[in-house]
Amino acid sequence: MSARFQTVTALIPAIPPYNFALTAGYATYFRGRYGTDIFENGAFRRLLDINGRLMLASLSARSPIAAPQLSIELTGTDVDRAAIGPATAQVAKILGTGQDLTPFYAMARQDKALTRLIGGLYGLHVPQTATVFEALILAILGQQISASVAHQLRTALIRAYGPSLTLAGTVYQAFPHPSSLATAGIEEFRTLGLSLRKAEYVSAIARAITDGKLDLESLFAKPESEVVTLLSSLRGVGPWTVEWLLVRALGRKDGFPASDLALLRMMGTLLGREAPVTPEEARAYSSRWSPFRSYVTTYLFAAARSGHLELLQPDDSPSDTEENESRPN
């Protein structure tokens, strides 16, 4: 049963400045592969599920940051021109091509602590998840534990329950449907390494969706107050998860997970402190970044994930380095 594949191509414009490599890198945690997303050899790939049809999207950018254009190639057994619209819309959302950074940059240039940070990450947009469901499940899996354990759990869940398509010998996987997670048992989740609690949270959320009692995707168009109320009512969702989804799934500009341990450490460094800031300090200080705190959050995590911690160092430090090469002038 050799499937016959079709391929179609299109172009996606992005609002400049747009740095494709940085944005696709962020979406894959600068690891090359993370979860359903792959960024290798300059190409971002992800298996899309467009109304039940699986197709691989492969994206690349040739054009400069100031005049960005992404080329997309769709490959699958059921791909035709009609798939281009919905597929490009989904990828454009995932890679944040429609975001306008200009107002954020105008604010950040006036802010001493942010200047170096944004300078080193010029053109980074905020990647979004394809669905609110995906962001929520990933967030729950990542609560409290280290980034490496979170990576393991997320990978295991996607491998076990995500739809897959094999192309040229490579297996690609999309994020699991709510129905797949709803029919899986708590015990199955536990064998993947989830705690009993996380297994219960994921199971209950998936079942609520398939039962028609919960419509996460409708939150995208809802005002923030409603989003917060509904998400907070779910077991397993606290303040951190709500803020994380505002940033990562709902396209809000001013989300800020003030209780995030990593964020508190990064802010401490950014402000030239020895210790992490407290959640209260973080919240109070961050008000000056409003209404662009989702971008600040993303840029902080990008600096940490990409290993460029120097972007967090204060700019005005005297900087007496041991190996100082004498510089002219």
Question: Which residues lie near DNA (CB under 7 A)?
Answer: 29, 142-150, 152, 190, 193-199, 234-242, 244, 259-262, 301, 305
Instruction: Bin 164: left if φ > 0, else alpha if -120 < ψ < 50, else beta.
Output: beta
CB 293 → DNA: shortest distance, Å? 14
Q: Which pair of structure tokens corresponds to residue 110?
A: 């006036």
CB 20 → DNA: shortest distance, Å? 20
Smaller CB distance to DNA: residue 109 or 235? 235
Strands 164-167 and 69-76: unpaired
CB 69 → DNA: shortest distance, Å? 29
CB 139 → DNA: shortest distance, Å? 7
Contact between 236 and 205 under an 8 Å Cβ cutoff? The reply is yes
Smaller CB distance to DNA: residue 54 or 301? 301
CB 228 → DNA: shortest distance, Å? 12
- Pick the closest to residue 95 from 158, 28, 159, 33 (CA basis): 28
Smaller CB distance to DNA: residue 97 or 297? 297
- Please return the burial class of 1, using the count of CB atoms within 10 Å of its CB with bins 0-12, 13-18 and 19+: exposed
Smaller CB distance to DNA: residue 112 or 197? 197
CA distance 278 to 282: 6
CB 238 → DNA: shortest distance, Å? 3
Smaller CB distance to DNA: residue 244 or 292? 244
Smaller CB distance to DNA: residue 67 or 149? 149
Contacting residues for 279 by C-beta, under 8 A, at least 6 apart = 258, 259, 264
Q: How many helices (H) and strands (E) does the chain have?
A: 14, 8
Contact between 91 and 12 under an 8 Å Cβ cutoff? The reply is yes
CB 285 → DNA: shortest distance, Å? 18
Q: Which pair of structure tokens corresponds to residue 24?
A: 């696709």
CA distance 206 to 218: 15
Helix (H) or strand (E) holding 157: helix 147-161
Distances (CA, A) of 94 to 31, 54, 117, 292, 315: 17, 17, 23, 19, 32
Smaller CB distance to DNA: residue 29 or 44? 29
